[in-house]
Amino acid sequence: MRKFPHNNTVKEETEINLTPMLDVVFIMLIFFIVTTSFVKETGVDINRPSAATSEQKSKANILIAIKSNGEIWIDKRMVDLRAVRANIERLKADSTHNSVVVQSDIEAKTGVLVKVMDQIRLAGITNISLSTLKN
């Protein structure tokens, strides 16, 4: 309690301590950041073929999608076949693991898939996987 000199009234000071609330908010924020799984996506929906011998791949840092109409998507944007190699080289320089997963639509032409895989190899990556659904 404090006495004020100009009038002899006693006034009680009340104060809300926000520190515990901020601690809880920051702990919750850290919890959600740590438990969130960061999944890379290509930016388009692909109708993948199914395969009985498909295996789960733990890490792939570069994803490429080939749509049924032949469009090639890397990093959520459409690229031309001639730009695949340059994009792969750029993404390869940004990461430590050098593996590529190609998600080709079941209706996509095999020729486009072969050309994309050739561009990936020309970019210096030989660890290439094809994405399928488990039978």
pTM: 0.62
Write out pLDDT tens, residues 95-110.
Answer: 776 888 888 888 889 8
| Residue 62 pLDDT exceeds 80 | yes
Give the pLDDT mean for 59-69. Answer: 84
CATH number of 50-134: 3.30.420.270
Give a three-class secondary structure readout of the chain: CEECCCCCCEECCCCCCCHHHHHHHHHHHHHHHHHCCCCCCCCCCCCCCEECCCCCCCCCCEEEEECCCCCEEECCEEECHHHHHHHHHHHHHHCCCCCEEEEECCCCCHHHHHHHHHHHHHCCCCCEEECCEEC
Instruction: Give the pLDDT of residue 130.
Output: 85
- Domain(s) of CATH 3.30.420.270: residues in the chain: 50-134
